[in-house]
A and B are shown apart, each in its own frame.
With several copies, the nearest count.
Chain A
Amino acid sequence: MTDLSIQIGPLTLKNPIIAASGCFGYGVEYAGVVDLSLLGGVAVKGLFLAPREGHPPERIVETPAGMLNAIGLQGIGVHRFIAEKLPELRDRRATVIVNICGSTLEEYVELARILSDAEGVAALELNISCPNIKEGGITFGCSLTGTYDVVSAVKKVTPLPVIPKLTPNVTDVASFARASEDAGADAVSLVNTFLAMAIDVETRRPKLSNIVGGLSGPAIRPIAVRMVYECRRTVKIPIIGMGGIASATDALEFMIAGADAVQVGTANFVDPFIWTKLLDGIRDYLGRHNIARVRELTGTIDTTAREKEWISS
């Protein structure tokens, strides 16, 4: 029996496959297509204290092997989330990771407090990296002291595992992982989307109402894998890797680079039935390679030189 469980601080996930925030609604939307209890975790759509309208359409646009989004964190706010969504998630035995966003440090702290009192929250993911709203914590996410401060402040008020989500739009992402670790983060997750844009040349207008948005999907995978690899060499805390994962092979690539778990976002739009395929693929791989526990895979990239092989082809 392969052991797929992984550890994030005090929290054990039954497997390393997590639905990425903002790509899986509040989880309940997908209860009809996938048994939520099968997932390692469900990171729900980024929540502010108050409900938010979000940006006007167009909110997404497809790009080569990727997509841009500028949703603007439309959402129901933390109170309605707890009242309206959390009970169903609990009933369906989902491992709920709540992705929280604030304009101020106090707001993160307040959100953490409120959610710590709610039943059925497994961990907090601090969204300090949303590229397409000014108040989405990106000011924290692009500053080492900002990152340090928000993580330590939230740690002080919650017993829940705290997972800052890092932006890739920085020169040295590993230093942000280090700042997070220093501040007591239980894990880091990366990457959020890359700030990007697309223009309709006929109208000369941006294709997104917000002008810029976040790039996700397979296009960014090689950059995200590199960032996970750099962070793995810098911090000891668990890393939740993501960015363009669309198959079990892709998920394994992140783990071998250094991720303990992974999140899958854009690929869920393309194939909402992907979850069991990912789990089956990982089980199959571990079986073929005689690896008993998935956690043994993390960071096992082999950077020694290769030997040539005679493959009689």
Chain B
Amino acid sequence: MPVDVEARVIRNTRLSSEYNVLALAAPEIAAATAPGQFVMVKLGRGSTPLLRRPFSVFEVLRTNGRVDGLTLLSKRVGVTTQMLFDAVEGDVVSCLGPLGRPYTPVDPPADAWMVAGGVGLAPFATLAEVLLARGTGVTLFYGARTARDLFYLDWFRDRGVRLSLATEDGSLGDHGRVTAPLERALAGAAGRTVMVYACGPEPMLEAVARLAAKYQRPSEVSVERVMGCGLGGCYSCVIPIRDGPKGHHYVRSCLGGPVFAGDQIAWDR
């Protein structure tokens, strides 16, 4: 059951002029979160902004092994993310969660390949931890516009996650989109059991799901739809799910997702 926590800001780390990581004292939520789940946050009194906004839980914070908070990785795109960017220690953020259907972690000998586009990195810190704890080998395919927009590389490296990077300007890793190194890897992975996890812009998710299908690997993608409530109340967040070979029906991504099997989604709709 989700809870609503008036979470104090523990610290706000700016990663760039657009990205920040906000640490919030919401241990109740953090302790209950599975990788890929999200929270609905609201800042400020009054009715502008009116609605909460969805954010993946980025890290689960622990002090001496005890869970004492969580972080959000946020990209500044509008009013709420601006407020998250500007937040200072002691501010209060209303935080409702954990919500949604998480990723399904795989066990060895399967390998876990996580594909992140930009702020789509968010669910993969917690997912990596869960996978590594199971002994599953983890690779992160991570793409962004430019090298300066690739964050937390050491965090993943230090924990033993293999990195495969791509930047659109070629400033680090592959020159181009992250799907290129992913496809090379898939092509060279004959005989290995691989589960592909993806989070990022929807066209990237579609490309990843198609690649996984092409190389006959399962995939799970986390979609980002506009969410009014996060609890199944408003039907704003729907995504077309395949119904037989040609049909589809709309499923609420806050309840049925945000994580779906890549082949469930009717990408052409």
A touches B (Cβ under 8 A):
yes
A interface, CB within 8 angstroms of B: 22-25, 29-30, 32-33, 45, 53-54, 56-62, 64-67, 69, 71, 74, 217-219, 246, 266, 268-273, 308-313
Residues of B within 8 Å of A269, CB to CB, are: 51-52, 228-229, 233-234
Q: How many residues of B contact A (CB 8 A)?
A: 44
Residues of B within 8 Å of A61, CB to CB, are: 226
Counting chain B CB atoms within 10 Å of each CB, the highest count among A61, A69, A308, A311 belongs to A311
The verdict on A266 contacting B50 (CB below 8 Å), with A30-B233, A67-B228, A310-B201 known, is: yes
A64 contact from B1, B47, B75, B234, Cβ within 8 A? B47
**Dominant secondary structure of chain B at its interface with chain A:** loop
Answer whether residue B238 sits at the interface, using C-beta atoms and an 8 A cutoff: yes
CB A169 to nearest CB in B, in angstroms, measures 21
Q: Are B51 and A270 in contact (CB under 8 A)?
A: yes
Residues of B within 8 Å of A60, CB to CB, are: 226, 228, 234, 236
CA distance A33 to B3 in the complex (A): 8
Answer whether residue B90 sits at the interface, using C-beta atoms and an 8 A cutoff: no
Residues of B within 8 Å of A74, CB to CB, are: 235, 238, 250
**Dominant secondary structure of chain A at its interface with chain B:** loop
CB A246 to nearest CB in B, in angstroms, measures 7
B interface, CB within 8 angstroms of A: 1-2, 4, 42, 46-52, 75, 96, 117-120, 143-145, 168, 177, 200-204, 225-226, 228-229, 231-239, 249-250, 255, 269
Residues of A within 8 Å of B225, CB to CB, are: 57
A312 contact from B42, B96, B201, B234, Cβ within 8 A? B201
Q: Are B235 and A218 in contact (CB under 8 A)?
A: no
Residues of B within 8 Å of A57, CB to CB, are: 225-226, 236-239
B202 contact from A62, A71, A217, A308, Cβ within 8 A? A308
Residues of B within 8 Å of A59, CB to CB, are: 226, 235-236, 238
Residues of B within 8 Å of A29, CB to CB, are: 231-233, 255
CA distance A67 to B227 in the complex (A): 12
Q: Are B233 and A32 in contact (CB under 8 A)?
A: no
CB A62 to nearest CB in B, in angstroms, measures 5
CA distance A269 to B42 in the complex (A): 11
Q: Are B233 and A218 in contact (CB under 8 A)?
A: no
From B207, which residue of chain A is reached at the shortest CB distance?
A310
From A61, which residue of chain B is reached at the shortest CB distance?
B226
Q: Are A273 and B145 in contact (CB under 8 A)?
A: no
